[in-house]
Amino acid sequence: STLIKILLGLSPATEGRAAVLGLDVATSGAAIRERVGYMPEHDCLPPDVSATEFVVHMARMSGLPPTAARERTADTLRHVGLYEERYRPIGG
């Protein structure tokens, strides 16, 4: 996890230099994080949050305004077949 944090520009390296996609991790962390995704090994979804709440939150974090985030969430959940379950907690 330390290496990942360094490569994403979230923690400074104590020695050496590194680049990701040609970008220096010491100076271009934000640009790297815009281009790189992370998929955890285990589930890390909050079990007590609904799909709607979670997707709206992710949309807001991506920069969508509140109304657009809610509209896109409904469209997205409908598209992936989760619209009927949109208010059920993710954990069950």
> What per-residue confidence (pLDDT) applies to 1?
82
pLDDT in tens, 57-91: 999 999 999 999 999 999 999 999 999 999 999 98
Residues 6+ apart with CB under 8 A from 18: 6, 7, 24, 25
> What per-residue confidence (pLDDT) applies to 37?
85
C-alpha distance from residue 22 to each of 3, 29, 63, 76 (Å):
17, 12, 26, 33
> What per-residue confidence (pLDDT) applies to 41?
82
Whole-angstrom distance, CA of residue 90 vs CA of residue 87: 9
